[in-house]
Amino acid sequence: MNDNIVDKSLEVLKDYDKFEPIVVRRENRLSNIPNFYGEEFHGVLRRSAAEEMLRRAGEGAYLIRLSTSESCILSIIFNGKIFHYETNFDGSYLINGKRFSNVSKMVKNGFEIIEKHEMSNEKDNETENVKLLKLSHSFKSYQFKVPKNCNFCQNKIWGPFQKRQKCCNCGFSSHQNCSSKFAHDCLPNLKYMKRIFGVDLIVLCLAHNAEIPKIVEKCIEEIEKRGLKTVGIYRMSGSEEEIEALKNKFDGGSEVDLTVIKDIHSICSLLKLYLRSLPNPLIPCKILEIIFEQFQMDQPKTDEQKIEILRNELSKLDIFRRKTLACLFRHLKNVVQFSVQNRMDAHNLAIIFIPTLFRSLSIMDYGFKIKPAYFEIIKFLIEMPDIILV
């Protein structure tokens, strides 16, 4: 990266209160300009054309372009890189779940998020920049009620049903041929979330602007309040009817009050059900197999070496999986501390959570028993959950 660009970017972001973003003014006359935008609004504008205009304008420049009849895209340039955010207006300007009184403040917030992402080397400093994680679109055939513009080529989408595509996570519309040309820049939007069970962890966290799924936090919080001493915690199942009712409430977007649920086993079962429903497990099979092979090698390893293996492999996970895993295993460590009362030590918890977290046929031996190395992996994570984030 050019040092002059970096120096200029740092100078731009030195003082947010004094910094004024550079408006890329539209060059053509437009009709039907929304009254809440000014000269930064360019109407329908191809992504490539927008990026060319921003590069000409230089660091700190921004523009707003029409993406669909329902949304607009804020495009900004920083450190020679161009970022695109979906934005809306409902009386105030919305971006990444935050509201602003004017466009300038909204743009400054975008630069602040990017600055934290670009300049920080701290792995844990990802609270504000979760939206910047590269995520591919999930296009599916869709029957539009009214004609839509393709978000890639900006032409109208015509033709058979199969050729009309829509991203089920962010709502972007596309021709079938254009859907494979999109960059990995999907920003999941809550209004397209029809459920939380069975939704990819990254998609769910991005849509909620959170590092850990709310259902995980709520279940763990309630279990820690009144369930740590309960005999058979996580081993005994709750009422299927109650679990299904809770699942439907979370899927429907209702505010769920777990304090009114008398049976703590139902809350434990709900958490396990959520983890099992993830389309991609918290620890992907490829990473799990590498850890397993290292633990299984003929040459014995010290505890320090095994910890280093776990640390190195788990550091490859995205921030959402790492944060969620750390939260879960810190909780399980708390459960073990009351094992005299609840009769659930690390080995018993491993029996429950190995099939829940490690969805791989390789976890069983020929006698359909869990292989010892997996018990060892779980026990290490329960005893030292903080290695997940180190």
* pLDDT tens for each residue of 232-282: 999 999 999 999 999 999 999 889 999 999 999 999 999 999 999 999 899
Q: What would the mean pLDDT of 53-69 be, rounded to a whole number?
A: 82
The rounded mean pLDDT for the chain is 81
Residues facing residue 292 across a β-bridge: none
Question: Which is higher by pLDDT, 364 or 100?
Answer: 100
Indicate the pairing of strand 61-66 with strand 81-89.
Answer: unpaired
Lowest mean pLDDT, pick from 109-113, 308-312, 345-349 = 109-113
Q: What is the pLDDT of residue 71?
A: 63
Lowest mean pLDDT, pick from 77-86, 90-99, 343-352 = 90-99
| Domain spans in the chain, listed from the N-terminal domain onward | 3-132, 139-192, 214-388
Lowest mean pLDDT, pick from 175-179, 322-326, 378-382 = 175-179
Q: What is the pLDDT of residue 113?
A: 63
Residue type, 182: F
Percent of the chain with pLDDT over 90: 34
SS (HEC) of 210-268: CCCCHHHHHHHHHHHHHCCCCCCCCCCCCCHHHHHHHHHHHHCCCCCCHHHCCCHHHHH
Per CATH, domain 139-192 is 3.30.60.20: yes
* pLDDT tens for each residue of 310-327: 999 999 999 999 999 999
Which residues, in sequence order, are CB contacts of 64 under 8 Å at separation 6+?
37, 40, 41, 42, 72, 73, 74, 75, 87, 103
Percent of the chain with pLDDT over 70: 82
Q: 97 falls in which pLDDT band (50, 70, 90)? A: low
Q: 160 falls in which pLDDT band (50, 70, 90)? A: low
For residue 203, the SS3 value is: helix
Q: What is the pLDDT of residue 367?
A: 47
Q: 96 falls in which pLDDT band (50, 70, 90)? A: low
Locus of tokens 């829940």: 356
CATH assignment of 214-388? 1.10.555.10
Q: What is the pLDDT of residue 348?
A: 94
CATH assignment of 3-132? 3.30.505.10
Q: What would the mean pLDDT of 185-208 be, rounded to a whole number?
A: 86
pLDDT at residue 330 is higher than 60: yes
CB pairs under 8 A, 24+ apart, for 198-204?
198/277, 198/278, 198/279, 199/279, 200/278, 200/279, 200/280, 201/278, 201/280, 201/282, 201/320, 201/321, 201/324, 202/133, 202/135, 202/318, 202/320, 202/321, 203/135, 203/138, 203/169
Q: What would the mean pLDDT of 110-130 be, rounded to a whole number?
A: 50
Contact between 60 and 22 under an 8 Å Cβ cutoff? The reply is: yes
